[in-house]
Amino acid sequence: MNKYSDKDDQFLVEMTLLGDEAAYEALVLRHQRAVMGTAYKVTGNRHSAEDASQDAFVSAWMNLSELRDGSKFGAWVCAFAKNCARTLERHYRAAIPSISLDAPGVPAPFEEDDLFAEDEYGNIHDAVDSLSEKIRETVKLHYFAGKSVAEIAEMLSVPVGTVKWRLSEGRKQLRKGYGIMEKTYDENESLVSRVMRQVEVLKLWQIRSEGNFEEEYRAILANVEALPESREKNALLADTLMRGYWWLPDKRSAEMLEKIKKVAENGHNEDVMMDLVAKEHDELFGDEKIKFMRETQIPYYRDNGYPRTLAYVWFWLGYEYRERGEYEEAIRCYGETLKLLTPSDVYYAFAKAAIEGEKRSIAASGNPKVLRCASCEVLKKIGEKLYFWSQPGYGYAVDGSLLWSMSFCEGIILDEKMKVGDTIMSSGGEITLTYRTDGDVCDTPAGHFENCSVYVLFNKQTGLTCCETWLCDGVGIVRQINTSSGNACEWVLSAYQTDGTGGLLPFAVGNRWKYVPAAPEAAGIGECENIFEVTACDNGSILLSHMDAMVLKDSGI
């Protein structure tokens, strides 16, 4: 049962806008029958109604900030379902005849003059000819020769179910060829699961190592730009352009940022607005910057329904006070960030780390030899691979981000498919990650650990050239040695708190690890706290609050 199943729609809408995906899942569970029914009245076909329902929930999620009365979510999402179903039907009729595979009846052959202009008719035939032999034969018999499913099964000496599968696969490939977003899912998968999965797919541009990113980017961009003008299109366009800006050097320009901001505002895409908001105030300095953030940005994002972006501004306003040595005011601003967000938000974890860091700033009484680092480390589990996703943070640390150090090979921290002796290599061939052993022993201030798995990363480029990491089942990282420019830094586990969950990296909310340098004297460090705590762990996403504070040798607090 969803933890929000007993909450009303107004509450669920508000929690969704604050970034809590479980709240939206509860909305989908509650209204899926009504949405399916609305779509079915338009399509008359269960499979098409499921597709339209999925589109409706995704569209509603992307436009949720426009809903003024959250208690009316049910009627509102049903309106999306009706529109999505009508759009889907138009696409199907324009590309492929509307035929139900559930019925054995004979379809009407193409009326060429009615369905296509001459060039369009040629295009559809070309598309059919590009299908694999068995699927092409079945599609032509059904759609061009007018044969029923039963007749085709008899003609080809195959089961009826095989004919239905071939027609379904053919329609899927043809729809994709005509630029219609294809749903790839198991028919037994629930509508809720599909909707939430597609919402996440919109964000999976972070990994670009497999295949040609620029080629994929241009193909997706063309598909998005071809969509009818809508708020949903603008939100998707903002996501796509932002990824291009990140990864393609020729897309980094002031003009591109201006374009991204415009479509992000039109699409009310808060994720992209958060990426862009720093661009607004980073051109300013000192009192002028603080005034702009307080008097312009905070009122705008508060009044226009961008709660997460508002929390982001409050956070970086706190950072400005921190830079001025006004640590109490910085902590107050970080507190405003916590009020606006849930623990599942990146900046919640970041603000929590920042508050801990600034408490140490106050305790240090301005000692210039005390270094502080605060961040949120975002990890994503995709399939069998755990990726280091992002790390918003500030401050200075000495190789203290242990998970980041492990991830130099295509962002991968761990791959569950790897066995002892396996090595994976980066797409450029300059970085390797090897699973060296699963039977090592390691002693640290936190205890004696046996059967440790050891992963070794080698990097031929400059910077971090080697990272050796010891992990113990049910505990996590117990030791790590990083080598940069010939200098080694060794971290060992000094204390930890886990919930008993197994795994080399046991992530559960509240799990906490503290590391210290193995040889602080050699590193010139007097005291050090390198602390990680899981603040959220859900749907393949893990957030860790990370605070690293150290006192350089011969300096005391």
What pLDDT is attached to residue 396? 57
One domain, residues 66 and 206 = no
Q: Which of 211-220, 389-398, 525-534 has the lowest mean pLDDT?
A: 211-220
Contact 465, 483 (CB under 8 A): yes
User: Between the CA atoms of 412, 417, 419 and 422, what dihedral angle is there, to the nearest 10 degrees?
Assistant: -50
How confident is the model at residue 92, as a pLDDT? 55
Q: Are residues 384 and 337 in the same domain?
A: no
Domain limits for position 258: 191-266
pLDDT digits (tens, 9 = 90+) for 300-311: 999 989 999 999
298 and 196 fall within a common domain = no
**3-class DSSP assignment, residue 465:** strand
Residues 243 and 208 in one domain: yes
Q: What angle in degrees, to the nearest 10, is found between the helix axes of 160-177 and 118-129?
A: 130
User: CA torsion angle for 152, 157, 159, 164 (degrees, to 10)?
Assistant: -30
Q: Is residue 466 part of a domain?
A: yes
Higher pLDDT, 266 or 539: 266
Mean pLDDT, all residues of the chain: 80
318, with CB counted inside 10 A (0-12, 13-18, 19+), is buried
The answer on 16 and 75 residing in a single domain is: yes
Residues 14 and 135 in one domain: no
Q: What is the pLDDT of residue 180?
A: 36
Indicate which CATH number applies to the domain containing 49: 1.10.1740.10
Q: 126 vs 148, which has greater pLDDT? A: 148
pLDDT (mean) for 398-416: 87
- What whole-number distance in Å separates Cα of residue 527 and Cα of residue 554? 10
Query: 118 pLDDT exceeds 80?
Result: no
**What's the chain's Rg over C-alpha atoms?**
27
Instruction: Give percent of the chain above pLDDT 90.
Output: 35
Domain boundary among 341, 360, 387: 341
Domain of residue 292, CATH code? 1.25.40
The pLDDT of residue 551 is 67
Asked if residue 170 and residue 195 are part of one domain, the reply reads: no
In a domain, 61, yes or no: yes
Between the alpha carbon of residue 319 and those of residues 112, 322, 357, 483, the distances in Å are: 65, 5, 11, 31
Q: Does residue 526 sit in the same domain as residue 395?
A: yes
Q: pLDDT, tens digit, for every residue of 256-288?
A: 988 999 999 999 999 899 888 887 887 889 999
Q: What angle do CA 493, 477, 460 make, to 5 degrees?
A: 115
How many Å apart are CA 360 and CA 327, to the nearest integer?
A: 10
Task: State which H helix or E strand residue 551 sits in.
Answer: strand 541-552
With respect to residue 365, please indicate whether it lies within any of the assigned structural domains: no
The pair phi, psi for residue 356, each rounded to 5°, is -60, -40
In angstroms, what CA-CA distances link 215 with 210, 211, 221, 223, 253? 12, 8, 10, 13, 20
The proportion of the chain whose per-residue pLDDT surpasses 70, expressed as a percent, equals 78
Q: How far apart are the first and last CA of the chain?
A: 50
Element (H or E) spanning 93, and its range?
helix 73-95
Q: Report pLDDT for 173.
A: 67
Residue 167 has pLDDT above 60, yes or no: yes
Q: Report yes or no on 272 lying in a domain.
A: no
**Same domain as 246, residue 169:** no
The pair of three-digit structure tokens given for residue 351, joined into one six-digit string: 């603000």
Q: Mean pLDDT, to the nearest integer, of 425-443?
A: 91
- Whether 542 is covered by a domain: the verdict is yes
pLDDT band at 95 (very low <50, low <70, confident <90, very high): very low
Indicate if the pLDDT at residue 232 is higher than 90.
Answer: no
Vertex 152: Cα angle to 148 and 154 (nearest 5):
120
Same domain, yes or no: 298 and 419? no
Contact present, 62 and 232 (Cβ < 8 Å): yes
Is residue 132's pLDDT more than 50? Answer: yes
506 falls within a domain: yes
Do residue 324 and residue 449 come from a single domain?
Answer: no
Find where tokens 């916590």 sit: 338
Distance in angstroms (rounded) separating the CA atoms of residues 78 and 67 = 13
**pLDDT tens string 481-528:** 999 878 888 999 999 999 988 999 999 999 999 999 988 776 566 678
Q: What angle, rounded to 10 degrees, do the helices at 9-17 and 21-43 form?
A: 110
Can you list the positions of beta strands (E) in 383-463?
Answer: 385-390, 393-395, 412-415, 423-425, 431-444, 447-459
pLDDT at 105: 39
Q: What's the pLDDT at 160?
A: 74
Q: What number is the average pLDDT over the span 215-228?
A: 72
Angle (nearest 5°) at CA 246 between 243 and 249: 120
Give the pLDDT band (50/70/90) at residue 201: very low
* CB of 453 closer than 8 Å to CB of 435: yes
pLDDT band for position 101 (cuts 50, 70, 90): very low
Q: What does the alpha-carbon distance between residue 521 and residue 507 come to, in Å, rounded to a whole number?
A: 32
State the alpha helices, DSSP H only, in 206-269.
Answer: 213-225, 231-247, 254-267
Cα separation, 409 vs 413, in Å, equals: 8
Q: How many domains does the chain have?
A: 5
Residue 342 confidence (pLDDT) above 70: yes
Nearest one of 363, 282, 366 to 316, comparing CA atoms? 282
pLDDT of amino acid 333 = 98
d(CA 524, CA 528): 11
The CATH code of the domain that includes 161 is: 1.10.10.10
- Among residues 297, 324, 341, which one ends one of the domains? 341
Task: Tell me whether residue 90 is exposed, middle or buried, using C-beta atoms within 10 angstroms of its C-beta: 0 to 12, 13 to 18, 19 or more.
Answer: exposed
**What's 72's DSSP letter?**
G
Q: Answer with the one of 209, 234, 266 that is the final residue of a domain.
A: 266
pLDDT at position 535: 96
φ, ψ dihedrals at 544, nearest 5°: -125, 130
**CA–CA gap between residue 549 and residue 504 (Å, rounded):** 26
Residue 444 in domain: yes
State the burial class of residue 103 (Cβ atoms within 10 Å of its Cβ: 0-12, 13-18, 19+). Answer: exposed
Angle at 532 between CA 526 and CA 535, to 5 degrees: 150
Which range is most confident: 35-49, 109-123, 281-295, 470-484? 470-484
Residue 354 lies in a domain: no
Q: What number of other Cβ atoms are within 10 A of residue 181's Cβ?
A: 16
Question: How many Cβ atoms from other residues are within 10 Å of residue 438's Cβ?
Answer: 14
**Same domain (yes/no): 198, 239:** yes
Provide the residue type at 528 as one letter.
Answer: C
